[in-house]
Amino acid sequence: MVIVLGVSGGIAAYKAVVLARLLVEDGHEVHVVPTDDALRFVGVPTWEAISRNKVTTSVHDDVAEVRHVALGQRADLVIVAPATANTLAKMAAGLADNLLGTTLLATQAPVLVAPAMHTEMWRHPATQANLATLAGRGVHVVGPDSGRLTGSDSGPGRMSEPAAIAARARRLLAPGDLTGLRVLVSAGGTREPIDPVRFLGNRSSGRQGVAVALAAADRGAEVLLVAANVDGSVLGEVEGHPSIRIESAGSAAELQQVVEAGAGTSEVVVMTAAVADYRVAGVAEGKIRKEDADAPPVLHLVENPDILAGLVARRRPGQTVVGFAAETADSEEELLDFGRRKRRRKGVDLLAVNRVGWNAGFETATNTLYLIDGEDRAIGRVEGTKRAAADGLWDAVAALRPGSPAAPA
Ligand code: C5P
What is 291-330 written as a DSSP string? GG-SS-----EEEPP-HHHHHHHTPPTT-EEEEEEEE--S
The values of phi and psi at residue 282, to 5°, are 65, 65
Give the pLDDT band of residue 80 (cuts 50, 70, 90): very high
Q: Which protein residue has the closest C-alpha to ligand 1 atom 19? A: 275
Q: Which protein residue has the closest C-alpha to ligand 1 atom 6? A: 325
Establish whether residue 254 lines the binding site of ligand 1, counting it when its CB lies within 6 angstroms of any ligand atom. no
Establish whether residue 260 lines the binding site of ligand 1, counting it when its CB lies within 6 angstroms of any ligand atom. no
Establish whether residue 65 lines the binding site of ligand 1, counting it when its CB lies within 6 angstroms of any ligand atom. no
Q: What is the tens place of the pLDDT at every residue in 132-189? A: 999 999 999 999 999 887 777 888 999 999 999 999 999 999 999 999 999 999 999 9
Q: What local confidence, expressed as pLDDT, does residue 408 receive?
A: 65
Is the pLDDT at 67 greater than 80? The verdict is: no
Q: What is the tens place of the pLDDT at every residue in 269-327? A: 999 999 999 999 999 999 999 998 889 999 999 999 999 999 999 999 999 999 999 99
Is the pLDDT at 47 greater than 90? The verdict is: yes
What's the gap in Å between 249 CA and the centre of ligand 1?
A: 15
Establish whether residue 50 lines the binding site of ligand 1, counting it when its CB lies within 6 angstroms of any ligand atom. no
Q: What local confidence, expressed as pLDDT, does residue 364 receive?
A: 78
Q: Is the Cα torsion angle 359, 362, 366, 369 positive or negative in sign?
A: positive
Is the pLDDT at 243 greater than 80? The verdict is: yes
Residues 6+ apart with CB under 8 A from 81: 5, 6, 7, 12, 15, 16, 19, 112, 113, 114, 116, 159, 160, 165
Establish whether residue 23 lines the binding site of ligand 1, counting it when its CB lies within 6 angstroms of any ligand atom. no
Give the three-state DSSP class for 403.
coil
Give the pLDDT band of residue 409 (cuts 50, 70, 90): low
Q: What local confidence, expressed as pLDDT, does residue 239 receive?
A: 87
Nearest ligand 1 atom to alpha carbon 309: 20
Establish whether residue 252 lines the binding site of ligand 1, counting it when its CB lies within 6 angstroms of any ligand atom. yes
Q: What is the DSSP letter of 67?
A: H
Establish whether residue 234 lines the binding site of ligand 1, counting it when its CB lies within 6 angstroms of any ligand atom. no
Letter for the amino acid at 266? S
Specify the higher pLDDT residue, 63 or 78: 78
Establish whether residue 275 lines the binding site of ligand 1, counting it when its CB lies within 6 angstroms of any ligand atom. yes
Least confident of 66-70, 175-179, 334-338, 359-363: 359-363
Chain-centroid distance of CA 107 in Å reads 26
Give the pLDDT band of residue 101 (cuts 50, 70, 90): very high
The CA distance from 210 to 215, in Å, is 9
- pTM of the predicted protein model: 0.88
Give the pLDDT band of residue 359 (cuts 50, 70, 90): confident
State which of 257, 272, 278, 307 you would mutate to test the pocket of ligand 1, scoring each by most atoms of that ligand within 8 A of its C-beta: 307
Give the three-state DSSP class for 49.
helix
Active site residue 98: no
State which of 191, 271, 312 you would mutate to test the pocket of ligand 1, scoring each by most atoms of that ligand within 8 A of its C-beta: 271
Query: How many Cα atoms sit within 13 Å of 237 on the Cβ side?
Result: 26
What's the gap in Å between 251 CA and the centre of ligand 1?
A: 13
State which of 255, 308, 346 you would mutate to test the pocket of ligand 1, scoring each by most atoms of that ligand within 8 A of its C-beta: 308
The values of phi and psi at residue 230, to 5°, are -80, 135
Among candidate residues 86, 98, 130, 202, the one labeled active-site is 202
